[in-house]
Amino acid sequence: MMQFLKLLFSFAPWIAFLVIAHGSLERLKIGLVVASVLTLAMAVLKLHRGAIMWVGIAFFAYACVAVLVFQDMWTIRNMGILANGALAAGTWVTMFMGKPFTEEYAREHTDPSMWKHPAFIRTNIILTTCWAVVFTVNTTVAWLKTYDKSWPEWSYEATSYAFLLSAMILSNVYPALLKRRREALAAQQQSK
């Protein structure tokens, strides 16, 4: 449960933006300011790190300038696509660089001797790929919500949240399952 809360906390600026920034231009502006302040505060306090931090800084800086300074209607109209797309791109980049973003968070509660272990690396590749797929799917859902509108409005949100919740659950359940398997195998080998 604690890992779930830490994961949720690491996305706090994005969650704040998601909750605040829809329904009106004023709410969008407030959401951008709140998310930007949270992103910078968490970075300074070292509560936020790695790719998700840098994606947040870049995205919210761009969005603040585009919306607050220039009131760029294209950016305003495409905000959901841009936000999800930024997260998707940032996550895929960490994969292509060979440094899955989940590794930085996993190291907090993993013995340093395991950091180069193939199982640790494989687990983080799987989890980061899952997040990258979810962000990519949510980018598509945001595009459909903006330009297609063939579904009821609520179904876009429900779909997006379901994918995010699935990734959060997998990020907590999968490593715990692997740990239990390792412990059971170790206990079995000791009893021989």
Tokens (6 digits) for 117:
């272990």
Name the residue among 60, 63, 67 with its Cα closest to residue 41: 60
Average pLDDT over the chain reads: 93
Q: Which amino acid is at 30?
A: I
Q: At 192, is the pLDDT very low, low, confident or very high (cuts 50, 70, 90)? A: confident
Name the residue among 146, 120, 161 with its Cα closest to residue 15: 161
Three-state secondary-structure class, residue 112: helix
What pLDDT is recorded for position 5?
Answer: 77
Residue 183 has pLDDT above 80, yes or no: yes
Distance CA 192, CA 49 (A): 44
What pLDDT is recorded for position 110?
Answer: 87
Residue 56 has pLDDT above 90, yes or no: yes
Q: At 2, is the pLDDT very low, low, confident or very high (cuts 50, 70, 90)? A: low
Residue 97 has pLDDT above 90, yes or no: yes
Chain segment 118-175, per-residue pLDDT in tens: 999 999 999 999 999 999 999 999 999 999 989 999 999 999 999 999 999 999 899 9
**All residues at 6 or more sequence positions from 155 whose CB lies less than 8 Å from its CB, including other chains:** none
Whose tokens are 């903006």? That residue is 146
| Alpha-carbon distance values, 57 to 43, 48, 179 (Å) | 9, 11, 34
What pLDDT is recorded for position 46?
Answer: 83
